[in-house]
Amino acid sequence: MMPAGPLMIEHRLIERMIAQMERQLNEIKKENGVDVGFIDVAVDFLRSYADRCHHGKEEDILFKALAKKPLSAEHKRIMEELIKEHVLGRGNASKLKEAKESYAKGNKNALSDVIANLEILVKFYPKHIEKEDKHFFIPCMDYFDKKEQAIMLEEYWEFDKKLIHEKYNNIVEGLEKQTG
């Protein structure tokens, strides 16, 4: 398997979650209310899976390896765009969480912010994924020989093994900060 394979497999799960977010967005508009539990799950998914796990492998492994290669102008431009898009996705996930928290505290005006950020995310991810899948990942595999690709796949597996420990360490540290 090429290193693009696991990233593209992860895209399929992200697409499924985005479909659920779009379904929830339509429900929010119809019901004029937010299922705050769903938003918590969606934000956790975006932060933990889409961003930390998926974008983490892209940025910390693939993009770093590509930065050492003589990329074409097009591939360099696309990689820079993808990095900027990752920042945008992180920002909108944070804004969605803030809007949900405001709504949960009784600010009904925050409903429009929840809707706006969900709309941005459900429009953003399909385009972002298409750019990576169809215009970047596969062509960029040509920059690596078979040995480099095998090493990168091993780095992906090592990266993933550490994530659950990182996530729950961060949760406990956050709780400790809250309780002083």
169: Cβ contacts below 8 Å, ≥ 6 apart: none
Answer yes or no: are the C-beta atoms of 124 and 60 closer than 8 Å. no
Per-residue pLDDT reduced to its tens digit, 37-69: 999 999 999 999 999 999 999 999 999 999 999
Q: Which residues of 48-84 are buried (b: 16+ CB within 10 A; e: fewer)?
A: bbbbbbbbbbbeebbbebbeeeeeeeebeebbeebee
What residue type is assigned to position 157 of the chain?
A: W
- How far, CA to CA in Å, does 158 sit from each of 12, 58, 154, 161, 163? 21, 14, 6, 5, 9
Domains of the chain: 4-179 (1.20.120.520)
pLDDT of amino acid 164: 84
Q: Which residues make Cβ contacts (< 8 Å) with residue 39, sequence separation at least 6?
A: 24, 96, 97, 100, 114
Alpha-helical (H) ranges within the chain are 4-31, 36-44, 56-57, 64-67, 73-104, 111-132, 138-140, 146-179
pLDDT digits (tens, 9 = 90+) for 122-173: 999 999 999 999 999 999 999 999 999 999 999 999 999 988 888 888 878 9
Q: What is the mean pLDDT of the chain?
A: 95
Least confident of 119-123, 144-148, 176-180: 176-180
C-alpha to C-alpha distance for 158 and 177, rounded to whole angstroms = 29
Amino acid in position 30: K
Rounded CA-CA distance 79/61 in Å is 13
The 10s digit of each residue's pLDDT in 66-115 is 999 999 999 999 999 999 999 999 999 999 999 999 999 999 999 999 99
Look-up of token digits 């169809």: 134
